[in-house]
């Protein structure tokens, strides 16, 4: 098995040379073979270092069977570009998560300062317009992609047994993505986001019996309160993304576990040799 | 044949040692979970039960207001959050034509009873008009068109030392009967009073 190369271990920590071995392991420079040969050995070792390092990690985590099973799994005949919509949605989410983390470095979730901090990001911070623009337009891209992905799964019949649970998880992910859109819309705190959020919270309030309490929970009170904005901020950057990450994990686990489906126009192999007897009972 | 007794069995026990410890472990874990989750839920929903301070804001002299036209004034309903805590209120003197006491003042909220957009009083037409979805209200705030489900809310008013003061919000039924304040989009009067319960801290409606 691969082992951690000696060259990467500081001399004091190396194993002492065994009796009779005149190796370079003791690291005291007393090599009878001379310096040039010593150097070429080091170069050789360094060349192998990345492979050795990966081997060292793999030996201790056992990750490679899992990774090869996940990344090099077999896919059915007829798999085409439509099957990339799910990965594309996840990539859009990763873009949102990364840009969001960096936007949070400059954003202030206070009703008095939020708009000023947004204009600061857009106008003054280096590349701020790009990062904020990526986050703003990326949100629409993610919602478009997630619905295209849902359409692909629906029209290819990929939601059928045994993949119903993955469909259910996917629907929850769509709802959470829309919640991200709703909560993120308030954060720039301009006139449009303020009034759009007022309307959205009041739509929640129109549900009989529970509606008023739901609206109160979202607003943190009876009116637009001092903590409404920070509540939306916490939902937008902590609670909902955490749930999305967890559910994407479950979604991917089931995709790997159950495999993907062939497109509906690909017929099964009906040659007698490949048919198996149906097992009953 | 009888099942072999588990290790540590003694005569007459109703539960194995393993079973007792499993149950105990789950109970402790469950208690710890509840002890964490309940305070967090309470932390998040507590504002619903908060009673906001009752604010009375001076909005002008008694002489500043007429009975036949509204005058917009700006009041603060939540302090410390700048513009977001302020709202426009339309105030007029009680009108004899509408069988109101001329010594009282009527303060109509600009919060549309449909979904909460800000309505504007159009003086030439004598109506309130909402920019979002086309809600329209007459001079008294009763719905005359569009999607709103009830008349415009009002604020309590009083006169202190010749100054008109605007107080807590209340909602009205279709006949302008005062009821406790409701959110936009919620019907008032009759059975709707039960289907859209006001939050516990909402102040009582003023006598009509």
Partner-chain contact A225 B78, CB within 8 Å: yes
Distance CA B18, CA B8 (A): 10
pLDDT of residue B181: 92
Quick check: A55 contacting B, CB < 8 Å? no
pLDDT of residue B61: 93
Quick check: A215 contacting B, CB < 8 Å? yes
Quick check: B80 contacting A, CB < 8 Å? yes
When pLDDT is averaged across residues A223-229 and rounded to a whole number, the result is 88
Block residue for tokens 């271990």 = A9
- pLDDT one-digit tens code per residue, A111-124: 999 999 999 999 99
When pLDDT is averaged across residues B144-171 and rounded to a whole number, the result is 94
Is B109 or A28 the better-scoring residue by pLDDT?
A: B109
Identify the structural domains of chain A with CATH numbers, from first to last. 6-70 (no CATH), 76-258 (1.20.810.10)
Whether the per-residue pLDDT at A94 is higher than 70: the answer is yes
Partner-chain contact A226 B78, CB within 8 Å: yes
Binning pLDDT at 50, 70 and 90, where does residue B77 land?
confident
Distance CA A23, CA A30 (A): 9
Distance CA B129, CA A154 (A): 44
Whether the per-residue pLDDT at B170 is higher than 90: the answer is yes
Query: Residues A15-21: contacts with CB within 8 Å, 24+ apart?
Result: none
pLDDT of residue A12: 65
Binning pLDDT at 50, 70 and 90, where does residue B203 land?
confident
pLDDT of residue A144: 98
Residue A218 with chain B: CB contacts under 8 Å: none
Residue A207 with chain B: CB contacts under 8 Å: none
**Which residues, other chains included, contact A56 with Cβ-Cβ below 8 Å and sequence gap of 6+?**
A2, A3, A4
Q: Among residues B205, B91, B208, which one has the least CA distance to residue B159? A: B91
Which range, of A23-27, A78-82, B170-174, B177-181, averages the lowest pLDDT? A23-27
As to burial, measured by CB atoms within 10 angstroms (0-12 exposed, 13-18 middle, 19+ buried), residue A120 is middle
CA distances, B81 to each of A235, B24, B191 (Å): 20, 50, 36
Is A278 or A223 the better-scoring residue by pLDDT?
A: A223
The pLDDT mean for chain A works out to 87
SS (H, E, C) A209-268: CCHHHHHHHHHCCCCCCCCHHHHHHHHHHHHHHHHHHHHHHHHHHHHHHHCCCCCCCCCC
> Which of B82, B115, B199 comes nearest A111 by C-beta?
B82
The 3-state DSSP composition of chain B as helix, strand, coil percent (nearest 5) reads: 20, 25, 50
Quick check: B180 contacting A, CB < 8 Å? no
Start-to-end CA span in chain A (Å): 46
Partner-chain contact B85 A226, CB within 8 Å: yes
Secondary structure tally for chain A: helices H, strands E = 10, 0
**Which residues, other chains included, contact B84 with Cβ-Cβ below 8 Å and sequence gap of 6+?**
A111, A189, A194, A224, A229, B78
- pLDDT one-digit tens code per residue, A1-58: 456 666 666 666 666 676 766 555 444 544 455 567 778 888 888 888 888 888 899 9
- pLDDT one-digit tens code per residue, B122-145: 999 999 999 999 999 999 999 999
Is B106 or B1 the better-scoring residue by pLDDT?
A: B106
On the question of a cis peptide bond just before residue A162, with omega within 30 degrees of 0, the verdict is yes
Which residues in chain B (97-126) have CB-CB distances under 8 A to chain A?
115-118
CB B112 within 8 A of CB B130: yes
> Which of B45, B52, B182 comes nearest A217 by C-beta?
B45
Block residue for tokens 């007429």 = B66
Distance CA A189, CA B123 (A): 31
Partner-chain contact B48 A202, CB within 8 Å: no
- pLDDT one-digit tens code per residue, A232-265: 999 999 999 999 999 999 999 999 999 999 999 9
Q: Among residues A179, A165, A154, A151, which one has the least CA distance to residue A242? A: A179
Quick check: A191 contacting B, CB < 8 Å? no
Quick check: A82 contacting B, CB < 8 Å? no
When pLDDT is averaged across residues B46-74 and rounded to a whole number, the result is 89
Residue B118 with chain A: CB contacts under 8 Å: 195
Residue A203 with chain B: CB contacts under 8 Å: 115, 185
The 3-state DSSP composition of chain A as helix, strand, coil percent (nearest 5) reads: 65, 0, 35
Distance CA A181, CA B169 (A): 31
Whether the per-residue pLDDT at B6 is higher than 80: the answer is no
Partner-chain contact A217 B48, CB within 8 Å: yes
Question: Is this prediction's pTM over 0.90?
Answer: no
When pLDDT is averaged across residues B102-110 and rounded to a whole number, the result is 94
Residue B84 with chain A: CB contacts under 8 Å: 111, 189, 194, 224, 229
- pLDDT one-digit tens code per residue, B81-104: 888 889 999 999 999 998 889 999
As to burial, measured by CB atoms within 10 angstroms (0-12 exposed, 13-18 middle, 19+ buried), residue A137 is exposed
Whether the per-residue pLDDT at A166 is higher than 80: the answer is yes
Distance CA A5, CA A2 (A): 9
pLDDT of residue B207: 84
Largest CA distance in chain B: 102
pLDDT of residue A278: 64
């Amino acid at each position: 098995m691969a082992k951690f190369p000696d060259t990467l271990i500081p001399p004091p920590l190396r194993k002492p040379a065994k009796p009779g071995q005149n190796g370079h392991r003791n690291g005291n420079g007393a090599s009878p073979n001379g310096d040039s040969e010593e150097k070429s050995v080091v170069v050789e070792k360094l060349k192998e270092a990345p492979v050795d390092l990966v081997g060292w990690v793999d030996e201790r985590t056992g990750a490679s069977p899992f990774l090869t099973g996940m990344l090099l799994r077999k896919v059915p005949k007829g798999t085409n570009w439509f099957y990339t919509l799910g990965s594309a949605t996840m990539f859009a989410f990763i873009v949102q998560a990364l840009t969001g983390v960096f936007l949070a470095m400059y954003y202030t979730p206070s009703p008095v300062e939020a708009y000023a901090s947004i204009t600061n990001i857009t106008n003054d911070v280096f590349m701020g317009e790009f990062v904020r623009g990526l986050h703003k337009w990326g949100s629409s891209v993610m919602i478009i992609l997630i619905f295209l992905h849902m359409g692909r799964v629906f029209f290819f019949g990929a939601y059928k047994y045994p993949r119903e649970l993955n469909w259910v998880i996917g629907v929850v992910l769509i709802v959470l993505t829309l919640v991200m859109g709703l909560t993120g819309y308030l954060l720039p705190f301009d006139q449009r986001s303020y009034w759009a959020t007022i309307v959205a919270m009041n739509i929640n309030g129109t549900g009989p019996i529970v509606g008023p309490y739901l609206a109160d929970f979202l607003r943190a009170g009876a009116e637009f309160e001092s903590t409404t904005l920070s509540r939306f901020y916490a939902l937008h950057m902590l609670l909902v993304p955490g749930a999305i990450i967890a559910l994407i994990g479950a979604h991917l686990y089931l995709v790997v576990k159950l495999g993907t489906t062939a497109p509906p126009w690909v017929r099964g192999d009906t040659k007698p040799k490949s048919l198996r007897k149906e097992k009953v009972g | 044949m009888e099942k072999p007794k588990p290790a540590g069995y003694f005569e007459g026990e109703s539960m194995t040692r393993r079973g007792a410890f499993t149950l105990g472990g789950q109970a402790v874990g469950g208690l710890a979970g509840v002890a964490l989750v309940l305070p967090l839920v309470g932390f998040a929903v507590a504002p619903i039960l908060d009673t906001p301070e009752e604010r009375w804001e001076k909005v002008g002299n008694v002489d500043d207001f007429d009975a036949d036209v509204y005058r917009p004034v700006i009041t603060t309903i939540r302090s410390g959050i700048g513009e977001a805590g302020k709202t426009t209120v339309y105030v007029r003197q009680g009108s004899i034509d509408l069988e109101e006491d001329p010594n009282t003042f009527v303060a109509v909220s600009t919060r549309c009873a449909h979904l909460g957009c800000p309505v504007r009083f159009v003086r030439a037409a004598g109506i309130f008009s909402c920019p979002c979805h086309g809600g329209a209200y007459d001079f008294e705030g009763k719905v005359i068109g569009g999607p709103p489900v009830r008349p415009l809310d009002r604020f309590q008013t009083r006169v202190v030392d010749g100054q008109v003061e605007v107080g807590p919000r209340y909602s009205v039924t279709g006949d302008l009967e005062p009821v406790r304040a409701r959110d936009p989009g919620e019907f008032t009067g009759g059975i709707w009073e039960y289907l859209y319960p006001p939050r516990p801290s909402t102040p009582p409606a003023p006598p009509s």
